[in-house]
A and B are shown apart, each in its own frame.
Chain A
Amino acid sequence: QQPVQSPQAVILREGEDAVINCSSSKALYSVHWYRQKHGEAPVFLMILLKGGEQKGHDKISASFNEKKQQSSLYLTASQLSYSGTYFCGTATGTASKLTFGTGTRLQVTL
């Protein structure tokens, strides 16, 4: 079953913050985050493994709450380059395939 992302779309002004959520009905081993710009391939951002760790690089970070089967992606001080569609991908085990979420379209404006 496909994980559900919220919101479906968000518009920000440059410098504002955003949170994108990913929720699954299954017990998860890991959550992946990807960003896809229009007309391009999805690009890997980060993986969060079971254990509730939080990760981040630059001004993009994420958390994973394994008890709730939820992950959140945090974008702080957004830049124009952050625009695109963000997908979470979930895996239920170490040897499982990835199931992608519905996507969240993010647009950053001046």
Chain B
Amino acid sequence: DAGVIQSPRHEVTEMGQEVTLRCKPISGHDYLFWYRQTMMRGLELLIYFNNNVPIDDSGMPEDRFSAKMPNASFSTLKIQPSEPRDSAVYFCASSLGLAGAYEQYFGPGTRLTVT
């Protein structure tokens, strides 16, 4: 298996622009997670899906952030409009189950820079 795939790997955009991050989870994994990592706040869970359905989006910082999972093999995280404070590394992860007993496999991440 190729593992979790994310694109793009790097994104530089100007404040106010729309940004779309993409993720392909490992085939057969029912759970997909979006994380954001910064020096100040560490690794934060933004939202997770189970069988393509959003279950918990309490970590999404603002209405500017939205996430979708139209099918089992694709998810997007969109920021509109983007702001400099959104600069971070965004990771997508997938797993067979929830955190109780299942490990999560992380994608390589998207490094977002908003100028």
| Pairwise interchain contact B98-A44, C-beta atoms closer than 8 A | no
Task: Tell me the minimal C-beta distance from B45 to chain A in angstroms.
Answer: 6
Is there contact, CB below 8 Å, between A30 and B101?
yes
The answer to whether the Cβ of B103 comes within 8 Å of any Cβ in the partner chain is yes
Contacting residue for A41 out of B42, B102, B103, B109, CB 8 A = B109
29 A-B Cβ contacts within 8 A?
A2-B42, A29-B100, A32-B99, A32-B103, A32-B104, A40-B108, A41-B106, A41-B107, A41-B109, A42-B43, A42-B91, A87-B43, A89-B99, A94-B101, A95-B98, A95-B100, A96-B98, A96-B99, A96-B100, A97-B98, A97-B99, A98-B99, A98-B104, A99-B45, A100-B43, A100-B44, A102-B42, A103-B42, A103-B43
Bits for A29-57, please: 1 = Cβ < 8 Å to B, else 0.
11010000000111110010100000000
